[in-house]
Copies of this chain bind each other. A is one copy, B any other.
């Protein structure tokens, strides 16, 4: 079932990013978006939407989910740049600035971020229903100054420095947690959920976001470059403080398990329609990359 949803996400992304003039910038945007991620964020949005009983005939939820994936991809492209993490590989393929060039990679990131808002806000009917606008606002907030962007800013500032637990928590909650929270909230908002349910989805997003980051930190010291498609021990190499380096592998693993369980328990409260969301959250606990 998730394979079907991933296929739909990939097809919609390919359609939205079909190259027109000037082709090179579309090629660079498409190259990074179609490089084959897990589609975690759009899947969470679609599953949250289903969980609250969202209308199956609404075509805009899929577009919004794809817009979120574009925002995620822009952040990866810019994070990989020489002035940032200076990574040559991403998902086992050359990073955008390696495949194209640095100027194109900067513009491809800018393009994906801007296009995401165009895709989310476009309404051919001219009705501009409030729920879509509110979802786009939450995405702006949580990908920006109350989420991903400030998390990344503190992460960049902290490189090579010993940071405390509070700072690491800020980075994780915002850098990784921001978009995951946004995915679940936006799915609920567009699906027509009430405020209490949106709040519950936000809390699930907080658990999943932190769990996801802890797992990333664990995999960086327990997996292989072949499986991950990117270098392992990169945090150590970059002298990065991580959940594992701060709390040890054992506590990281038990906290990960506790957060995952907490998220699933909350999702179960949403009832029968949330079963696919619960199943997906369970499948995440086994992920190896």
Given contacts A78-B106, A106-B83, A133-B133, contact A140 B153 (CB under 8 A): no
B157 lies within 8 A of A24 (CB): yes
Cα distance A123–B104 when bound, in Å?
Answer: 35
B-contact 0/1 string along A194-224, CB 8 Å cutoff: 0000000000000000000000000000000
Question: Which of these binds chain B: A112-120, A235-243, A256-264?
Answer: A112-120
Q: Is the pair A149, B107 in contact by a Cβ cutoff of 8 Å? A: yes
Contact of A121 among B106, B137, B143 (CB under 8 A): B137
- A110 adjacent to chain B (CB < 8 Å): yes
Nearest B residue (CB) for A84: B103
- Whether B149 and A137, one on each chain, are in contact in the complex, defined by CB atoms closer than 8 angstroms, is no
Q: Quick check: B137 and A115 within 8 Å, CB to CB?
A: no
CB distance A104 to B156 under 8 Å? yes
Task: Pick from A24, A106, A123, A134 the residue with the most CB of B within 10 Å.
Answer: A106
Q: Which residues of the partner chain B approach A134 to less than 8 Å between Cβ atoms?
A: 123, 126, 128
- Taking the complex as formed, is A231 at the interface, i.e. its CB lies under 8 A from any CB of chain B? no
Q: Is A92 an interface residue (CB 8 A)?
A: no
- A268 at interface (Cβ–Cβ under 8 A)? no
User: Are A121 and B103 closer than 8 Å at their CB atoms?
Assistant: no
Question: Is A152 an interface residue when CB atoms closer than 8 A count as contact?
Answer: yes
Are A114 and B128 in touch, CB under 8 angstroms?
no
List the B side residues contacting A133 at CB < 8 Å: 121, 123, 128, 132-133, 136
Residues in B neighbouring A154, C-beta threshold 8 A:
22
Interface membership of A102, Cβ < 8 A: yes
Is there an interface contact between B152 and A114, defined as CB atoms closer than 8 Å?
Answer: no
> A233–B123 Cα gap in the complex (Å)?
44
Query: What's the minimum C-beta distance from A87 to chain B, rounded to whole angstroms?
Result: 13
In the complex, what residues of B have CB within 8 A of residue A78's CB? 106-107, 110
Nearest B residue (CB) for A85:
B103
Do B117 and A136 touch (CB < 8 A)? yes
B114 in contact with A149 (CB, 8 Å): yes
CA separation between A135 and B150, bound complex, in Å?
26
Chain B residues with CB under 8 A of A192:
none
The verdict on A130 contacting B126 (CB below 8 Å), with A106-B81, A118-B145, A143-B114 known, is yes
Ordered by A's residue number, 19 sampled pairs between the chains whose C-beta atoms are within 8 Å are A21-B150, A22-B154, A24-B157, A25-B150, A25-B153, A103-B156, A104-B153, A111-B149, A114-B145, A115-B140, A117-B140, A118-B137, A122-B137, A126-B134, A128-B128, A128-B133, A132-B133, A133-B136, A136-B136
Considering the complex of A and B, which 6 residue pairs feature the smallest CB-CB distances, nearest first? A114-B144, A83-B102, A128-B130, A118-B140, A121-B137, A25-B153
